[in-house]
Amino acid sequence: MKKILFAASECVPFIKTGGLADVVGSLPKYINQQDYDVRVILPCYKAIPASFKENMEYKTHFYMELAWRNQYVGIMELKLQGVTFYFLDNEFYFSGSTPYSNIHEDIEKFAFFSKAVLSALPLIEFRPDIIHCHDWQTGLIPVYLHDTFSKGEFYQGIKTIMTIHNLKFQGVWDIKTVQDITGLSEYYFTSDKLEAYGDANYLKGGIVYSDLVTTVSDSYAFEIQTPFFGEGLDGLMSAKANSLMGIVNGIDYEEYDPQTDKLITYNYNARDFRKEKIKNKRALQKELGLKNNDKSFMVGIVSRLTDQKGLDLIDCVIEELCSDDVQLVVLGTGEQKYENLFRHYAWKYSDRVSANIFYSNERSHKIYAGCDAFLMPSLFEPCGLSQLISLRYGTVPIVRETGGLRDTVEPYNEYESTGTGFSFQNYNAHDMLNTVNYAKNIFLNKKREWNKLIDRAMAKDFSWKNSALKYENIYLNLN
Per residue in 152-175, pLDDT (tens digit) is 899 999 999 999 999 999 999 999
pLDDT tens digits, residue range 317-373?
999 999 999 999 999 999 999 999 999 999 999 999 999 999 899 999 999 999 999
| Helix, strand and coil in the chain, % to nearest 5 | 40, 20, 35
Query: pLDDT tens digit string along 42-60?
Result: 999 999 999 999 999 999 9
Q: Which of 392, 364, 411, 382 is closest to 461 using CA atoms?
A: 392
CA gap 329, 230 in Å, rounded? 32
| Whole-number Å distance between alpha carbons of 308 and 379 | 5
Using an 8 Å Cβ cutoff, are 59 and 123 in contact?
yes
Calculate what percentage of the chain has a pLDDT beyond 70: 100
- Residue 389 is predicted with a pLDDT of 97
Exposed, middle or buried by CB within 10 Å (0-12, 13-18, 19+), for 68? Answer: exposed
The confidence score (pLDDT) of residue 301 equals 98
Residue 230 pLDDT? 97
pLDDT at 242: 95
Spell out the alpha helix ranges (H) of 135-224.
140-146, 175-182, 202-209, 218-223
For residue 145, give Cα distances in angstroms to 151, 155, 156, 461, 473. Answer: 9, 8, 9, 37, 24
Tell me the three state secondary structure of residue 330: strand
Distances (CA, A) of 51 to 54, 56, 161, 177: 6, 9, 32, 37
Judge residue 362's burial from the number of C-beta atoms within 10 Å of its C-beta, 0-12 exposed, 13-18 middle, 19 or more buried.
exposed
For the entire predicted model, the pTM comes to 0.93
CB 21 within 8 A of CB 12: yes
| CA atoms in the 13 A half-sphere facing the CB of 174 | 2
The answer on pLDDT for 463 being more than 90 is: yes
Write out the DSSP string of 391-454: HHTT-EEEEESSHHHHHH-PBPBTTTTB-SBEEE-SS-HHHHHHHHHHHHHHHHH-HHHHHHHH
Strand order across the 172-174 sheet: 172-174, 199-201, 195-196
Domains and CATH numbers, the chain: 2-250+464-477 (3.40.50.2000), 273-459 (3.40.50.2000)
Q: How far is CA 197 from CA 34, 111, 173, 296, in A?
A: 46, 20, 11, 51
Q: Are 405 and 386 in contact (CB under 8 A)?
A: no
* Tens digit of each residue's pLDDT (9 = 90 or more) over 88-133: 999 999 998 899 999 999 999 999 999 999 999 999 999 999 999 9
pLDDT at 19 over 90: no
**Mean pLDDT of all residues in the chain?**
96
Q: In 3D, which of 137, 74, 75 has the Cα closest to residue 100?
A: 137
Q: What is the pLDDT of residue 479?
A: 80
Sheet strand arrangement including 326-331: 353-356, 326-331, 297-302, 373-376, 396-400, 422-424
pLDDT at 4: 98
| DSSP type of residue 307 | G
Q: Which pLDDT belongs to residue 331?
A: 97
Residue 256: the pLDDT is 95
Q: Which DSSP symbol is given to 187?
A: G
CB 312 within 8 A of CB 387: no
In angstroms, the CA 161 to CA 163 distance is 6
User: In angstroms, how far is the first alpha carbon of the chain from the final one?
Assistant: 14
How many separate helices (H) and strands (E) can be counted in the chain? 18, 18
Sheet of 83-89: strand order equals: 57-66, 69-80, 83-89, 36-43, 2-7, 130-134, 159-164, 212-215, 244-246
For the cut 90, the answer to whether the pLDDT of residue 459 exceeds it is yes
pLDDT digits (tens, 9 = 90+) for 410-429: 999 999 999 999 999 999 99
- In which band, very low, low, confident or very high, does the pLDDT at 218 lie, cut at 50, 70 and 90? very high
- Asked whether the CA dihedral 125, 130, 135, 139 is positive or negative, the reply is positive
pLDDT at residue 18, rounded to an integer: 82
* Pairing between β-strand 373-376 and β-strand 297-302 as defined by DSSP bridges: parallel
- Please tell me the distance from the alpha carbon of residue 76 to that of residue 55, in angstroms, as a whole number: 10
